[in-house]
Structure 1
Amino acid sequence: MKTLKILTGFLIVISPFWSVAQKIIVNGNKFLVGGKEIIMNGANTPWNSWNDFGGNYKSTWWDTEFQKIKTAGGNSTRIWITCSGVVGVNISSDGTVTGASSTFWAHLDDMFQLARKNKIYIKATLISFDHFKSSNSKYQSWRNMILNNDKVASFVTNYAVPFVNRYKDNPYLWAVDICNEIEWVNQEADKGNIPWNRLQYFVASVASGIHDNSQVLVTLGSAAVKWNSTKYEGNFWSDANLIAQINKENARLDFYSPHFYGWTVKWFGNFALDKTPADYGLNDRPCVIGENPAKGVFNDGASPTLVVPASEMFLGAYNKGWKGLMPWTSNGVDSNGNLKDFESGLLNFQKAHPELVDPTFTTGMIPEMKRNKNRSILENVFPNPTGSGVFYIVLSEYQDVILRLTDYRGSLIFDKKAESTETSFSSIALPKGMYILSAKKDGWVESRKLVLN
C-alpha cells in the first residue's frame, strides 16, 4: 500500500440521545450553547388543534411530533401559544388582559416538559395577526389592547412576564416571538389598519418586559423582510425605532426572523441562493428564516416556480449566513407541505454539520459509541484538495459500510456499499467546489470535507 499522508477529518456521530442542554444565548450574529455555535435546524409546528393551550390540547400528539422532528435531524420548532386569543388568555372587552386560565398553564407545563424530554428548542409565539381579524369573536378586545398604553401594560404584566417567569429556567424555551406577522395588522383593513407607532409601542413594551425579568431571547416573526430592512420600506423593528417608543435600552429584538414566501423571494431575493442578512443590513445579530414553504423555496412569478428544493434549502441558507431555517409546517396545517417534504433537508444539514445541530454531540453518544469514540472507518482520502479528477479512499473496514457523497447543498451524488478497504471515485464530471464524503455503519457516521479545484 502507498505511503499515505494522514488528513485531519472530523467525526460525526448521529445519535438519538443529547446531552443536557444549556441556554441558548446571542454573541454578535451567532447563537451559542455552552460557548459553541448552534444553528436552528428547525420547523414550525404552530398548532395541532387551533388554540391547543387552554383548548383541545393532546399531550401524546405533541410528544410524537417532537420525536418526529428530532428523528428527522431537527433541533427546534416554533409554536403559537395562542392562535386567536379566544381561549387560554383572559382579555376583557376594553382590552385589559387579566391573566390566563389554569388549564392554559397546565397544557403549557406539559408541552415544555415534552420539549425538554425530546430536546427540542421552542420559539414560542405569544399572539398572531389572527387575534385582530374581524372574523375573530374577540377582535375588538385585542384591538383595544394594542391601542392603549395601559392595556398594553396589562398584556406585559399579566401574560408575557408570567409566561417567561414560569419557563425561563427550562433551557428549551429558546425564544419568545412576540407576534406572528404583525405587519398585516397595519396593512389590512380586516385586521384594523392599526398605526405603525402603536405596533412598535406594543413590541417595544413586550420586549422590555421580557428582558427586565429574564434572559429569554426575543424576536418578531416579521411577515416579510421589506419591513425589516432599510433597503426597502424600512426596519420598523430596529433598536432605534423600538427604544424611541418607551425610552428603554432593552426594548430591542435579540434576533430577526423574517418570513420568506414566493412573493417575498420574487421581489426581495432568495435567502438560499443569493441573499445574506448583510444584504438587508441585518448582520448585527443572528437572523433566522422564521417561515418558508415546507416544499422548498419558490419564486412566485407568473406561476410558482421551485428554485431551491427542500433537500438543499437548509444548507443553502446556512451558506448565505442565516442562523436557522424553520419551514411551515411539520404537521401540514395547509398546502405548503409537511415534515415529509423537508426532512431530507434537515438530515442533509445534520449530516454535514452535526456539531452545529447539537454542539455537545460528542457527549450525547449512545454508550456503545462513547466507548468507541476513537473508532475510524475513513482512514484516508487523498489527494485532498485535488484537481486530478480522482479521489482515493482507504477504509479500516468495508463490510456493511455505506459510502455517500453529497455536494455542499446536501444533494446526493452517490450512495453505495463499499466493496473493499481500498477504492476510488472519479470526480471528472463534478463541478469545482466542496463535497462531503461519509462512511456509515451501524449508526456510526464519519465524514470528510473534500475540495475539488
Structure 2
Amino acid sequence: MLSRSPSGATRTVMLGLSYCMMLVLLIVSLSPGVSPVTGTARAAAACPADQSHLVPWRDGHWFLAGMNVPWLDGGFGADFGTVEEWWQHTYTTESADQMFAALKARGVNSVRWWVFADGRGAPEIANGMTTGFDANTLPSMADAIKLAAKHDIYIVFTLWSFDMLARPNGIIQNQRDLVVDTTKRQAFIDNAVIPMLRYPIAGTSYTIGTHPNVITWEIINEPEWGIRESGSIHWNIDNPVSLAEMQRFIAEVTGAIRRNSNQLITVGAAAMKWNSDTIPGAEGNWYSDAALTRYDAEGYLDYYQIHYYPWANGDNNWTFSPMRLGWQEAGFDKPVVIGEFPANADGSGMTPLQLLESIYANCYAGAMGWTYEGVDGSGSWQDIAAPMGTFTAARASTIRITPPSPGGTPTPTAQPTVQPTAQPTAQPTTQPTAQPTAQPTAQPTAQPTSTPEPGITLTLNYPDGAPDSYFLLTGTSFPVGHTIRLQINGELLSETIIVGDEGRFRVLLKTVADALPGSYIVTVTSVATPTSLVQTEVLAQVVYLLGLDDPLRERPRRVSATIVEVPLEVEPYVLTPMVYLPFVRR
C-alpha cells in the first residue's frame, strides 16, 4: 500500500489518477508474440499434491488466511515504538486482544503487523547509528505475541516500509543510510535486529525470535517504490536506492534473522511485476535466491509475497493479477502469499469471497486483506468478515494451523545458532528519527515537561475525519482521582476532568464545521490543584487529522462521555501530504 498522515492520524491518501495514467506510469513493456490475456479469472492448474505451494510451518503446509493490521488505533509507526515528539504509543493489550478475538471467530489464522514503518517510533537512531529501542517496543511486541498464541493467530512482522526512504521534512528523517551504508546497516542488525530476536517472552521458554506464533519476518514492504530501476518511484522519495543496494540490505538483514531465529522470512513486493521471470511485462524476480545469496549465503527468502490492487488487472495483453495468473503459470519457485488485497474487493470485478476462492484455487499460499480498521478506501474487516468466515470454514484443513505431534521438528528453515537469552543491548537515548507526515507551521506553545507515566494510554476511536466530526478520546491507567486538562496544538481548553476510580476517562471532542484541515495534537496534562489550575506535567498525547475529503465522524451512540468543543481558534499544523501507496495505485 502507499501511506501516511500524522501518527495517531495515519491514513493513506488516494490519488485520483485514471487507469490510463496508471498504465503510462507503469511503463509495461510487452513481449512480442504473447497471446492475449482475457477474462476476469483463469482456470487454475491442479495444485501440487505435496502442498509445496503452501507455507511450511509446524510440520505442515498452510494457507495464510489473514488480515493486515497494519497498525492499531491510528498508530502508524507507534504501535510498538514511541513517537516521542508527542509521546504517542498506541499499543494496548485490550485493543490487540479484541482484534485477535474478532479475527479468530471468523477463522483467520494470521495477521501482518508493521513494526518500524518509516522509523518514526523505533528503533532509536542517533547520527544514523542504531542504538536500541525505547522502553515500550519489545515488551509490546512480546505482549502481542502472547495474545496471538492465546487466540491461535500467527504474526507476520513487517520491519520496514519503503517510507523509510522518504525525503526528510523536519519531522521525518530519511533512513536511506541503513540501506546503503555498511557500518550503519550493521549497527541496525547488531543493536536492533538481534536484540529483538533474543528478547525473552515472559512466562514462556521462548524469545521473540523462537516463538512459534511469529511465523514470518518481512524485511520491507513494497521496496520497489524506492528502487531506481523500478521506473515507478514514489513522489516523496528524492533519492532512491539502486536495486543492488536494496538486495544487499534485504539479504544481510535476512541472513542475520536466519542465524538468530527459526522463523520464516519474506519481502512484500508491490506486485508480481517484480517477482516473476516469465510473465509479460514483468521486470524479473528481484528476490530470487540467486539475486540475494550473492550478498549473504543465508539471505534467501522462505516464500514470496506479492500485493494486488486494481491497477494490476492490466488488459488483454498483460496482467499482474493473481486471479488471472496462477502460481504455476507465473513461474514461481517458492510459495507466494498475496500479502495485500482490497478487503472490499473494489476494482477486482469480484466479491470478497470470490476473490479469496480465486486466490486459493490458483495455488497461492495466502490472502491477507487490507486493512483491519479501514485506513483507506480499500475496505475494512467489516467488509470481509463474513466472506472470510465462509471461506475459512470450507478450507479448514489447510487454514487451521495445528501444532506438530510430540517429537516432531519445526518446519522453519534453520535453528538459531545462538540461543536467545540476552536483553536488548541499548536503551533509547535519542528522539525518534521520523514522525507523522504533518509538517508543523509553528512549534506548539507547550512542550512536555516529563516522560509520560508508565502504563498510561491515550487513544482516539478514529485517526481522521472531516470538520464537524466527533472523536472519542479514551484514557486508561491514569492516576485515579487526578484532575487533568486538555490542550490541542498548545491551546489550553477550559474544561477540567476528574479521572475515575479505574483510572479511566472519556471525552468526546467535537470539532466545528469551519475547522481548518490539518493535524491536531491532543495533550493531557495533570493539574497541581483544581483551584489554581496550574499544569504540572504532560501525561500523554495523541493526534487526529481533519481533512475535507475525510468521512464525517458521527457522534457515537450509547457512549457516556464529557463533550468538549474544540474552538475554531485552535489552529492546525499544516500537512505536507505523503502518500503511502504509490501514485500508480488506487
Structure-2-length-normalised TM-score: 0.53
The secondary structure found in structure 1 opposite 2:305 is coil
Q: Superposed, which structure 2 residues align to 1:423-442 within 5 Å?
A: none
Is the 1:92–1:141 Cα contact (8 Å) retained in structure 2? no
How far 1:344 sits from its partner (Å)? Answer: 2.7
Is the 1:221–1:290 Cα contact (8 Å) retained in structure 2? yes
For the residues of structure 2 that align with 1:292 and 1:92, how far apart are their CA atoms? 36
Report % sequence identity. 30
The secondary structure found in structure 1 opposite 2:120 is coil
Is the 1:230–1:281 Cα contact (8 Å) retained in structure 2? yes
Match of 2:353 among 311, 324, 342: 311
Q: 1:321-369: per-residue Cα shift (whole Å, max 9, x none)?
A: 00110010111111110111112332122221212121449x9xxxxxx
Match of 2:329 among 279, 291, 296: 279
In structure 2, what is the equivalent of residue 130 of structure 1? 163
Q: 1:49-103: per-residue Cα shift (whole Å, max 9, x none)?
A: 222112222221111111111112201010001222121311123x221211121
Q: Superposed, which structure 2 residues align to 1:40-119 within 5 Å?
A: 40-48=64-72, 49-50=75-76, 51-54=78-81, 55-93=89-127, 95-119=128-152
Match of 1:179 among 202, 220, 232: 220
For the residues of structure 2 that align with 1:64 and 1:137, how far apart are their CA atoms? 36
Gaps of 5+ in 1: 1-25, 299-305, 364-453
Q: Cα gap change, 1:209/1:329 in structure 2, threshold over 3 Å: closer, same or farther?
A: same
Q: Cα gap change, 1:268/1:61 in structure 2, threshold over 3 Å: closer, same or farther?
A: same
In structure 2, what is the equivalent of residue 289 of structure 1? 338
Residue correspondences, number = 326
Q: 1:16-51: per-residue Cα shift (whole Å, max 9, x none)?
A: xxxxxxxxxx98433244433321111100101222
Q: Cα gap change, 1:268/1:35 in structure 2, threshold over 3 Å: closer, same or farther?
A: same
Q: 1:373-409: per-residue Cα shift (whole Å, max 9, x none)?
A: xxxxxxxxxxxxxxxxxxxxxxxxxxxxxxxxxxxxx
Is the 1:225–1:258 Cα contact (8 Å) retained in structure 2? yes
RMSD: 2.2
The letter of the residue matching 1:218 is I
Match of 1:30 among 54, 64, 75: 54
Q: Cα gap change, 1:342/1:137 in structure 2, threshold over 3 Å: closer, same or farther?
A: farther
For the residues of structure 1 that align with 2:284 and 2:181, how far apart are their CA atoms? 25
Is the 2:165–2:240 Cα contact (8 Å) retained in structure 1? no
Is the 2:221–2:267 Cα contact (8 Å) retained in structure 1? yes
Match of 1:207 among 254, 274, 289: 254
For the residues of structure 2 that align with 1:29 and 1:346, how far apart are their CA atoms? 21
Q: Greater relative contact order (Cα 8 A, min sep 6): structure 1 or 2?
A: 2
Q: 1:153-173: per-residue Cα shift (whole Å, max 9, x none)?
A: 112222222223331232110
Is the 1:176–1:216 Cα contact (8 Å) retained in structure 2? yes
For the residues of structure 1 that align with 2:399 and 2:286, how far apart are their CA atoms? 31
Q: Cα gap change, 1:129/1:33 in structure 2, threshold over 3 Å: closer, same or farther?
A: closer
The secondary structure found in structure 2 opposite 1:184 is helix
Q: Cα gap change, 1:359/1:181 in structure 2, threshold over 3 Å: closer, same or farther?
A: closer
The secondary structure found in structure 2 opposite 1:102 is coil
How far 1:295 sits from its partner (Å)? Answer: 0.7
How far 1:230 sits from its partner (Å)? Answer: 1.5
Q: Cα gap change, 1:56/1:137 in structure 2, threshold over 3 Å: closer, same or farther?
A: farther
Is the 2:161–2:221 Cα contact (8 Å) retained in structure 1? yes
Q: Cα gap change, 1:136/1:198 in structure 2, threshold over 3 Å: closer, same or farther?
A: farther
For the residues of structure 2 that align with 1:277 and 1:112, how far apart are their CA atoms? 31
For the residues of structure 2 that align with 1:343 and 1:173, how far apart are their CA atoms? 23
Q: Cα gap change, 1:90/1:134 in structure 2, threshold over 3 Å: closer, same or farther?
A: same
Is the 2:166–2:174 Cα contact (8 Å) retained in structure 1? no
In structure 1, what is the equivalent of residue 297 of structure 2? 249
Is the 1:297–1:307 Cα contact (8 Å) retained in structure 2? yes
In structure 1, what is the equivalent of residue 273 of structure 2? 226
For the residues of structure 1 that align with 2:58 and 2:70, how far apart are their CA atoms? 28
Is the 1:179–1:221 Cα contact (8 Å) retained in structure 2? yes
Is the 1:69–1:330 Cα contact (8 Å) retained in structure 2? no
- Higher helix content, 1 or 2: 1
For the residues of structure 1 that align with 2:264 and 2:380, how far apart are their CA atoms? 27
In structure 2, what is the equivalent of residue 14 of structure 1? none
The letter of the residue matching 1:252 is Y
The letter of the residue matching 2:68 is N
Is the 2:120–2:172 Cα contact (8 Å) retained in structure 1? no
Match of 1:164 among 185, 194, 197: 197
The letter of the residue matching 1:44 is N
The letter of the residue matching 2:123 is V
In structure 2, what is the equivalent of residue 446 of structure 1? none
Q: Cα gap change, 1:315/1:173 in structure 2, threshold over 3 Å: closer, same or farther?
A: same
Match of 1:259 among 299, 303, 307: 307
Q: Cα gap change, 1:35/1:111 in structure 2, threshold over 3 Å: closer, same or farther?
A: closer
Q: Cα gap change, 1:359/1:188 in structure 2, threshold over 3 Å: closer, same or farther?
A: closer
For the residues of structure 2 that align with 1:69 and 1:332, how far apart are their CA atoms? 15
How far 1:236 sits from its partner (Å)? Answer: 1.1
For the residues of structure 2 that align with 1:332 and 1:220, how far apart are their CA atoms? 23
Q: Cα gap change, 1:60/1:221 in structure 2, threshold over 3 Å: closer, same or farther?
A: same
How far 1:256 sits from its partner (Å)? Answer: 0.4
The letter of the residue matching 1:142 is Q
For the residues of structure 1 that align with 2:309 and 2:70, how far apart are their CA atoms? 17
Is the 1:40–1:323 Cα contact (8 Å) retained in structure 2? yes
Is the 1:211–1:250 Cα contact (8 Å) retained in structure 2? yes
